[in-house]
Amino acid sequence: MNVKLRVLTAGVLFFTGQAVFAQQDSTKNVKDIEEVVVLGYNKTATKPKDVTASVTVGAEKLENRPNATFLNSLQGEAAGLSVSSTSGQPGSSKMDIIIRGVSSLNASSDPLYVIDGMVSNSVQFRNLNPNDIETVSILKDAAATAIYGNRGSNGVIVIRTKQGRYGSRFVVNYSGSTGLGVLPKTKYNLVDAKGQLTLQKRYGQGIGASYTDAQIAAYNGPNTDWRDEFFRTGITQSHDLSMMFGGENVNNYTSFGYFDQTGTVPTTDFKRFTLRNNLNAKSKDGKFVFNSNLALGYSKRHQLLQESAADGSTSQNIVQNPLWGAVLGSPLMDPNAYASGEEMYNGFGTNLNNGQTVYSLLDILRGNLPNELTETSIVANFSATYNINENLSITNKSGVDYKYSTGNSARAPWAYLSIAVARPAGIPFGGNESFSNTTEFNFNSITSANYRKTIGENHTLDVGVYLDYLKTNYRQTSQNREGLNPLNWVFGAGTGYVGFSTTTPALYNPTASMAKITAGTLAYFATLDYDYADKYGVSGTIRRDGTFRFIGDNRWGTFWSAAGRWNIDKEEFMTNSGFDMLKLRASYGVIGNQNVIAPAYGQNPLLVGTNLIRDTYSLPATGYNQTTGSIADGVLANPNVQWEEVGQFNVGLDFRVLNNKLEGTVDYYKKKTNKLYNDIIYSWAVGTNPATGNNTIKGNNGKLQNEGVELSLKYHLLNKSDYKLSIYANGSYNQSRVLEANPDTSILKSVPGSMIGEWYLVDYVGVNASNGELLFNVNGQTVEQFDQINDLKATGKSYLPKFVGGFGINASVKNFFLDAHFNWQADVWRMDGLLDWTNNPSLLQRDRMSTDLLNAWTPNNMNTNAPSLTASNLTYADYSNRFLRDASFLRLKNVTFGYSLPKSLLGDKLKEVKLYVLGENILTFTKWQGYDPEPLFASSGSVYPNLKTVSLGVNVSF
């Protein structure tokens, strides 16, 4: 764990396993502050002695933000960290967190999360209150992450929650805020109703096909902007109450939190209740130290169907995704034409050719596809340290992470989709309801012995040995009922189910399923740190990891790191140089990755890919009425699958200069992944997989590399009692390359020499003025058609950003304060799926089109960049860069302006009162035309964008 705490040098440090506490001597006026870094488990170092590449984000960056997860607040805060919110839906778990590039093609690239010293397998953090967090540290190089072994290959994010302080008074803090959120606007140029009719007339399909020009000019029917019909203003409110106190031997922090957010899309919302208690204690002689952390959380949310991983295909479903319809819904449709699903079916049946799809979306937003998901979580850990003598200590830290989740979703019997499916098939009762229960229990225990010895005046030695055990148990049950009686069905009540009958065996069949998974890891490892005269230092870690996922000799892997530093400012030739700190450090290490199958968003990576090494083609199964069958798994398992291995070299320079006014860090790294989990191709002569009929098997095959530079700077321009001003900036460049891989025929290739996620396309060069066909450049030749496999070429453009970063200011003038933070990404290219759809004439009978099509090629309009509406080669554009767009952006991520009431107005009982206004995602500068350039998709369709919010808040301390 790598947590940086400001520790008063005149205070007394108490190291309690994972926590560090400082007690100030109240009889002294202390000004000097040093920084302490907690590196992992119970390893610590001061900043000048730290050999790792790491960044720490403080509570001031996380508190009072209108975000359900703290991960949103990390955007642009650390060089080398890419944070992309793939869905702005309230309570969403769709976060893509990448540290120093993607380390695998198929395996998980999620970092490891550690909360208060314990490994967490949660990656959504719905039930973690951001206002309870003291610091978040991002560990990047092998020197920092090797101590976490098999779980640290993608970097580590360490969360330390707030703690009490010894010898402190009783303090009560309240913070509350309320805000409004709106959906960002798209920048597509779309036709109005008359434009839609004009295009339909020219194309010869749709309502406008029978209109004359005069009738179109005189049209005064519906001209609907479906954005106004589908969306609303979202509301966010949060309330947090915390209490903190500390005696001579005991301190405590307790908090209660409430968060409520309604989405801009009706039927979406999120509520969360949290309770946390962090207790620390020590014996009078200081030999025994104890701490406990207990967090309880409950959340409930309602979401759009496409939010769940299982239903991800609905993101471009024309009758299920309102975000799609808000852009592509036909303006010719009257939003008030139908009041119910029954009226819709009677009006147009299942004929959706003329744009009636938007009515199905309206029906959904009335709540006719209800769902409710809840999560109850308990995270508790306990640590005890016994100091045998001044050099040797023994520590055990054990904890549990328990989650109980429920899911309930339905298609109401009166919903249009239910009626449209049941009536044509002659089914009397339509609709369905499903419900599931999931239990996940994780247990982690770490036992360590640590020895620290100072030899003479210049030599310091730290040695630690550790045993780390992790166990996960998972159970899931689900049921589905087909056929709901509208007379007595109530969502979630278990009523209205139509009973199964043997006379109609094809109807109303209930189904049920159950899953059980047990997984675990075991590791033992040792660490060594040596310092000479605060000037030179070396550090090393060696770790032996075992996992349930592999078999035989592959079950165990040995991973390690070595690092060193040189504090140049301690040399005599640096006297009077102006440097308060100048430190050169370097490290190299090799870390394994056992999570070779990427989990779905929010899923524990230990729970996927549990059957990779069992050489079976199918699994026995029992179907309805105890009928014996089998389930083909589709993959020929490979007992030789083993760890992916990530080797990383890092060299960095840390400095503070000009009396600590300017501080910064520069890092260069090269990270190479070997033994990629990928397809292994055999010749057909060798044999095929009888379950799948192909000649591939999954195994360790391939290499890739990430290489980059990171820079972080902060400058304190002014630091007076009445006014302060600091500016900061960070940025990183990452170049990824595939070194070894199989042949690839897709437009996103992973072949030797390519970037990860690189587009292989042909150049779109315009329109043939003689016939209106699309023109492409292939090997210097202008053609209308080409080989969609062999003619594709590398573009040098990837859907993963090469550059990410952030910058901002922190300023105050007397009692007023202003904080502003920008984040940005550059050189990132994605296919704009919505732009493609709005330029597809074959859809104009149903969907709203781009105004560019009004200028489409005709024999009378030959000088244009829009192809003919009837061009025969439009599908070739899918293999070109016609709709490849720059998704770079600069965003004002967060700005806060506030006022602290003067202490003269507060009296004796109030310690502090702050009033503030806060904006989130207020301004975005980008060429991207869609809702949001941030989501990490290769091809962007209609996803729930991140909201623009403005909030008012207050902080009060008693």
Q: Using one digit for the tens of pLDDT, what is the confidence trace for 703-750?
A: 999 999 999 999 999 988 889 999 999 999 999 999 988 877 788 888
Residue 692 exposure: Cα atoms within 13 Å on the Cβ side = 15
Alpha helices for 204-338 (secondary structure H)? 213-217, 226-230, 322-328
Higher pLDDT, 618 or 898: 898
CA distance 750 to 758: 8
The H or E element spanning position 759 is strand 758-761
pLDDT given at position 122? 60
**Six-digit token pair at 329?**
């819904």
Q: What's the 3-state SS for 458-497?
A: CEEEEEEEEEEEEEEEEEEEEEEEECECCCCCCCCCCCCE
Does residue 30 have a pLDDT over 50?
no
The H or E element spanning position 381 is strand 371-387
**Six-digit token pair at 560?**
């390690």
633-639 mean pLDDT: 65
SS3 label, residue 403: strand
**Six-digit token pair at 696?**
């591939």
CA distance 539 to 565: 9
Sheet with 829-832, edge to edge strand ranges: 884-886, 829-832, 939-940
pLDDT given at position 640? 87
pLDDT tens string 374-394: 999 999 999 999 999 999 999
pLDDT given at position 618? 41
185-214 mean pLDDT: 94
CA distance 821 to 819: 7
The predicted model scores a pTM of 0.90
Does residue 631 have a pLDDT over 50?
no
**Six-digit token pair at 837?**
């759809």
Does residue 14 have a pLDDT over 60?
no
Comparing 28-37, 333-342, 911-920, the range with the smallest average pLDDT is: 28-37
Does residue 687 have a pLDDT over 50?
no
Does residue 37 have a pLDDT over 70?
no
Does residue 73 have a pLDDT over 50?
yes
pLDDT tens string 816-875: 999 999 999 999 999 998 999 999 999 999 999 999 999 999 999 999 999 999 999 999
pLDDT tens string 289-308: 999 999 999 999 999 877 76
Percentage with pLDDT > 70 across the chain: 90
What's the chain's average pLDDT? 88
- Terminal CA-to-CA distance of the chain, rounded, Å? 32
Sequence-separated (6 or more) residues with CB below 8 Å from residue 751: 738, 741, 743, 744
Q: Nearest 5°: CA angle at 868, between 864 and 870?
A: 180
CA distance 580 to 655: 7
Confidence of residue 413 (pLDDT cuts 50, 70, 90): very high
Q: Sort residue 680 into left (φ over 0), alpha (ψ -120 to 50) or beta.
A: beta
Sequence-separated (6 or more) residues with CB below 8 Å from residue 194: 216, 217, 219, 223
Confidence of residue 309 (pLDDT cuts 50, 70, 90): very low
pLDDT given at position 683? 57
The H or E element spanning position 256 is strand 250-262
CA distance 317 to 326: 13
**Six-digit token pair at 494?**
């278990």
CA distance 158 to 57: 10
403-412 mean pLDDT: 95
Please give the backbone phi and psi of residue 643, each rounded to the nearest 5 degrees, phi first: -60, 140
The closest alpha carbon to 452, from 386, 496, 390, belongs to 390
Give the DSSP letter of residue 9. T
Block residue for tokens 């079976």: 616
Confidence of residue 598 (pLDDT cuts 50, 70, 90): confident
**Six-digit token pair at 580?**
């308060």
The answer to whether residues 759 and 795 touch, using CB atoms and an 8 Å cutoff, is: yes
CA distance 434 to 311: 14
